[in-house]
Amino acid sequence: MLGVSLAAAHAAAAARGVPLYASLGGNDARTLPVPMLNILNGGQHAAGSTDFQEFMVMPTGAGSFAEGLRWGVEIYHRLRAILHDRGFSVAVGDEGGFAPALGGNERAVEVILEAIEAAGRRPGEDIRIALDPATSELYDGATGRYRLPIEGREVESGELVDLWADWCRRYPIFSIEDGLAEDDWAGWRELSERLGRAVQIVGDDLLVTNIDRIDRAIEERACNALLCKVNQIGSLSESAAAVERSRAAGWGVVMSHRSGETEDTTIADLAVAWNTGQIKTGAPARSDRVAKYNQLLRIEEQLGGSAVYPGLDAFPHRRST
């Protein structure tokens, strides 16, 4: 179904003689997204690395998409050098991020901060950190607890919220995706109540780009941002409806790839067409990830002086701080 949906959209753009982002978004399609570059992998994407799945950098202080991407690439390679010099593996996980066996989850944040500074950038100003711990993979339904095997312990929902609150207090973490398991609604409400005025709380497994679950999350104030995956819900029109519903609630929107990808670049055009302001599409490595970044560079070049890079304006949750 998705193949037919995307084929129709691409055919319409070709018939009009315009790029896909312009065909879908018209003259308003000019916002380039702030990238979430997944530079360190763990969890199900890189066994033996960290309990938490994705550690990302966001170049919120850059002046353009091209500059932000360059900063991310420089940090990525600085991270590789630091890991290599300390004897850690520099093999990459499913989304191109490095997957070292650091021996602890917090060490991942610390080594990324080192890489940011080594690249000449300021953590918390030029660069902010985003997390996707993918905690549904850590949740034990039989006990109602979260297993952290790297740390050798289990925690309850409230204790995991305490962990995120502590990390956000000590590190420049600006976005947390799937900080609780997909059906831990009470945990999501607590997380949003405690951190949602300062931190973007992103629903992926919680929402699955589904309007029914989005409506429930809006009603329960469970999060403040949508992770939009077009092949999760199955069609372009349903994805657009999910984005519209989320925006109406004052949420942020992150256009997203999947862990299994191809070199198709449609989501790059969708991020611009729908002015999502953010995109998550892996590390600046592996052709299936780099293809999206290259397409966004082309789009920025096509838009010229009308292109907008939103920086911190991509995060509606900041309006209430």
Active-site positions?
A: 95, 229
Q: Which pair of tokens denotes residue 169?
A: 């207090």
Residue from 251, 255, 260 nearest 295 by CA:
255
Three-state DSSP at 148 gives strand
Q: How many CA atoms lie within 13 A of 68 on its CB side?
A: 31
Q: Which pair of tokens denotes residue 37?
A: 């570059």
String of DSSP letters for 246-306: HHHTT-EEEEE--SS--S--HHHHHHHHTT-SEEE---S-SHHHHHHHHHHHHHHHHHGGG
| H or E, element range at 228 | strand 225-228
Cβ contact 296:65 at 8 Å: yes
CA distances from 165 to 4, 107, 169, 226 (A): 43, 17, 6, 20
Name the CA dihedral angle for 208, 209, 210, 215, rounded to a multiple of 10 degrees: 100
10 Å CB burial of residue 70 (0-12, 13-18, 19+) is middle
Pairwise CA distance, residues 189 & 180, whole Å: 10
